[in-house]
Chains A and B, each alone.
Chain A
Amino acid sequence: MIVEAPASPLARYALRRADDALILGHRLSEWSAMAPTLEEEMALSNMALDLIGQSRALYTYAGEVEGKGQSEDDFAYMRREREYQNILLVERPNGDFAQTMLRQFFFAAFAYPYWLAMMRSTDATLAAIAAKSEKEIAYHLRHSSEWVLRLGDGTAESHRRLAEALEELWPYTGELFAVLPDETALIAAGVAVDPDTLRGEWEATVRAVLERATLAMPSGGWMQQGGREGRHSEHLGHLLAELQYVPRMIPGATW
């Protein structure tokens, strides 16, 4: 049973944020048993758990809004690549620890002011999800910033790796601010936040941390887009093949 895209713009909006959280959480969970220290093992799992938890709340809400009885698992396990609408940044492969942490930092530097602003959403459920997510993402931002500093200003090797990660990931940061046509009415109604209003804070955070990490903030350049419209990189299909394998193998089962 394949789940179709919801008709309701609000459900679609919630789904996109859920997809961001799930895919990034899934990527972090791929680090299990591979972290550089045991303390970092705990931290990566913590962030993965927070994000998967956020995705569950958002998927559940999308199902409620749509009103067709779709569960969180229907959305997570029964949609195809083209129906996933996460941004490309979160599906980037983990790479080395520098790439993972910089990806986390870029995402959290956006998600933190985003959820903070969403606490004032006129939609009570989104506002409640925001209140919980904001606290979690504040930790992700602090943790990833600290690592960006340590790696940038650590050894020659860690600096080189972080610089490579910056070059690799920078083109995926533009999509953080993408707005789809069906979202403008939600923004006008105060249900959703206009991401453009968060751009200044994101840039200030990123610039400050990169500078302290002795790296220059890239300026402009071509920005990759497409995830929000279901045009993904080749990486997402493999992630979903793994994620969805068991329920697809034995359809209709309860786990």
Chain B
Amino acid sequence: MYTQALNQRGEGDERLLEDAAALERFQARIDAEERIEPNDWMPAQYRRTLTRQISQHAHSEIIGMQPEGNWITRAPSLRRKAALLAKIQDECGHGLYLYAAAETLGTSREELLDQLHSGRAKYSSIFNYPTLTWADMGTIGWLVDGAAIMNQIPLCRCSYGPYARAMIRVCKEESFHQRQGYEIMLALSRGNDEQKAMAQDALNRWWWPCLMMFGPPDTASQHSDASMRWKIKRFSNDELRQKFIDATVPQAHFLGLTIPDPELRCVDGHWQHGPLDWDEFARVIAGHGQCNRDRMAVRRRAHAEGEWVREAAAAFAAKHSAQLAAE
């Protein structure tokens, strides 16, 4: 569903060790908007940054199945149940081809999953908030997927070819999810008083966490420089956040919902927002969101409980390939 702009730890500067001429050629290709492909030479830090970003994105898709999965068995109509199930299936598919894209950089899916399960890798913090009512399914589609699209459309032009191509497909599906979420909100906002209250309550809870999905403000963001130079990232966190707010506020008004920000006002065609609670953001990233432990526990349990199944499949395959070879 989404990759989060996290501050990244500084890396030792391998550029000193790498051939200055190769680096220069690499940067020239980037500047000429050429795509970098798996077998091309690339700086070690470029490889590491992308592996981290793509795998974090994949992890987010996989963990992101849980908050919505919480409502599959309770969806209020068969049409909604099927749509939600299909949406979550899409997210799993995104996870799969993002892991495949990350593998082109030389790290296996098993190793990447191991990083997730051991807590070394992050996923988007938005999934550490609980989904409390059916309206959360609408709000997640509308806002969380909406924010994801803002982040991901520029990634379709990312300098790394496999990631850029994966994002083209992901974005198509995300925009369908976003419309689907908005349509749930539309049905609720045209419904009875209880449904309208449910929609407003969900917006109240998800609005601020969604704004923080774009990551820390530009003044506090340390590592955009290299990503910008390498055209992995093309817009700053604040630029993307502003685009999202400008697109979303009129949609909320159309639904008859109130954005839970008393300071929100339109200045020169842009919506200005009140202060974001970056302490909460830091707390949730640090593991203190309401669902951090639950999300990881479910993921680890699924992996652990599936082990005997994976072993059986491997044993069966080994047995039968040995038989085929003997025949």
B264 to chain A, nearest CB (A): 29
When distances are taken between beta carbons in the complex, the residues of chain B under 8 Å from A39 are 96
Taking CB atoms, residues of chain A closer than 8 Å to B298 are 33-34
A76 touches B73 (CB 8 A): no
Which residues of A have CB within 8 Å of B302?
33-36
The answer to whether A158 and B306 touch across the interface, beta carbons within 8 angstroms, is no
Query: Which residues of the other chain, B, contact A155 by a CB distance below 8 angstroms?
Result: 308, 311-312, 315
A-side interface size class? 35 or more
A interface, over-half SS: helix
Tell me whether A246 and B85 are in contact (CB under 8 A): no
Residues of chain A lying within 8 A (CB to CB) of residue B179: none
Among the listed B66, B77, B85, B190, which residue makes an inter-chain contact with A247, where contact means beta carbons less than 8 Å apart?
B77
Show 15 residue pairs from A and B whose CB-CB distance is below 8 angstroms, ordered by the A residue: A30-B72, A32-B72, A34-B301, A36-B309, A42-B89, A72-B78, A96-B305, A154-B315, A155-B308, A155-B311, A155-B315, A157-B311, A158-B309, A239-B73, A246-B134
Minimum distance in angstroms from B84 CB to a CB of chain A: 9
Q: How far is the CB of A163 from chain B (nearest CB, A)?
A: 13
Interface residues in A47-64 by Cβ distance below 8 A to B read: 48-49, 52-53, 55-56, 59
Asked whether A172 is an interface residue with its Cβ less than 8 Å from the other chain, the reply is no
Question: CB distance A56 to B78 under 8 Å?
Answer: yes
The contact of A32 among B69, B76, B307, by CB within 8 Å, is B69
B85 lies within 8 A of A55 (CB) = no
Confirm or deny: B121 has a beta carbon within 8 angstroms of a beta carbon on chain A: no
* Distance of A4 from chain B, by nearest CB (Å): 20
Q: Is the CB of A37 within 8 A of B85?
A: no
Could you say which residues of chain A place their CB within 8 Å of the CB of B93? 42
Q: Given B76, B299, B308, which contacts A246 in the complex, CB threshold below 8 Å?
A: B76
- Minimum Cβ distance to chain B for residue A160 (Å): 10
From residue 57 to 97 of chain B, which have CB atoms closer than 8 A to chain A?
Answer: 62, 65-66, 69, 72-82, 85-86, 88-89, 92-93, 95-96
Chain A residues near B28 (CB-CB < 8 A): none
Is the CB of B310 closer than 8 A to any CB of chain A? Answer: yes
Contact between A250 and B194, CB atoms less than 8 A apart:
yes
Known interface pairs A29-B72, A30-B73, A56-B78; A161-B92 also in contact (CB < 8 Å): no
Check if B316 sits within 8 Å of A150, measured CB to CB.
Answer: yes
Contact A255:B80 (CB < 8 A) given known A38-B96, A41-B92, A154-B316: yes
Considering the complex, which residues of chain B in the window 280-299 have a beta carbon less than 8 Å from any beta carbon of chain A? 298-299
B219 at the A interface (CB under 8 A): no
Report yes or no: A38 in contact with B72, Cβ–Cβ below 8 A: no
Q: How far, in Å, is B265 (CB) from chain A's closest CB?
A: 34
Kindly state whether residue B191 has any CB partner on chain A within 8 Å.
yes
Is B192 an interface position by the 8 A CB rule? yes
Tell me if A73 counts as interface (CB < 8 A to partner B): yes
Is B85's CB under 8 angstroms from A42's CB? no
| Closest partner residue, chain B, to A247 (CB atom) | B76
A245 an interface residue at 8 Å Cβ cutoff? yes
A-B pairs with lowest CB-CB distance, top 5: A36-B306, A154-B312, A158-B312, A36-B309, A32-B69
Are A29 and B78 interface neighbours, CB within 8 A?
no
Measured in the bound complex, the distance between the Cα atoms of B69 and A243 in whole Å is: 13
Chain B interfacial residues counted at CB < 8 A: 50
Q: Which A residues form the contact surface with B (CB < 8 A)?
A: 22, 26, 29-30, 32-42, 45-46, 48-49, 52-53, 55-56, 59, 72-73, 76-77, 96-97, 149-151, 153-155, 157-158, 161, 239, 242-243, 245-247, 250, 252-255
Q: Tell me if B30 is interfacial: C-beta within 8 Å of chain A.
A: no
Cα A158 to Cα B188 in complex, Å, equals: 46
**Closest chain B CB from A43 CB (angstroms):** 10
| A3 CB → nearest B CB, Å | 14
Once the chains bind, are A36 and B310 in contact (CB under 8 Å)? yes
- Output the least CB separation between B64 and chain A (Å): 10
Contact bitstring B181-213, A, C-beta under 8 A = 1, else 0: 000100110111011000000000000000000
| Cα–Cα distance between A36 and B80 once the two chains are bound (Å) | 26
B313 at the interface (CB under 8 A from A): yes
Instruction: Select which of A37, A151, A242 is within 8 A of B73 by beta carbon.
Output: A242
Residue contact A149 to B191, C-beta cutoff 8 Å = no
Q: A45-B92, A150-B313, A158-B315 are in contact. List 7 more A-B contacts (CB 8 A).
A: A26-B73, A30-B72, A42-B96, A56-B82, A73-B77, A154-B316, A250-B195
Q: Is the CB of A243 within 8 A of B73?
A: yes
Contact A97 B65 (CB under 8 A): no
Known contacts A30-B73, A247-B76; is-contact A253 B194 (Cβ 8 Å): yes
B319 within 8 A of A: yes
Distance to closest chain A CB from B91 (angstroms): 10
Chain B residues near A150: list those with CB within 8 A.
Answer: 312-313, 316-317
In the complex, which of the residues A49, A153, A243, A253 contacts B82, with contact meaning CB atoms closer than 8 Å? A49
Asked if B95 and A52 make an inter-chain contact with CB atoms under 8 angstroms apart, the answer reads no
Max chain A Cβ within 10 angstroms of own Cβ: one of B85, B191, B192: B85
A254 CB, min distance to chain B CBs, angstroms:
6
Distance in angstroms from B307 CB to nearest chain A CB is 8
Closest to A157 in B: B308
Taking CB atoms, residues of chain B closer than 8 Å to A56 are 78-79, 82
Residues of chain B lying within 8 A (CB to CB) of residue A242: 73-74
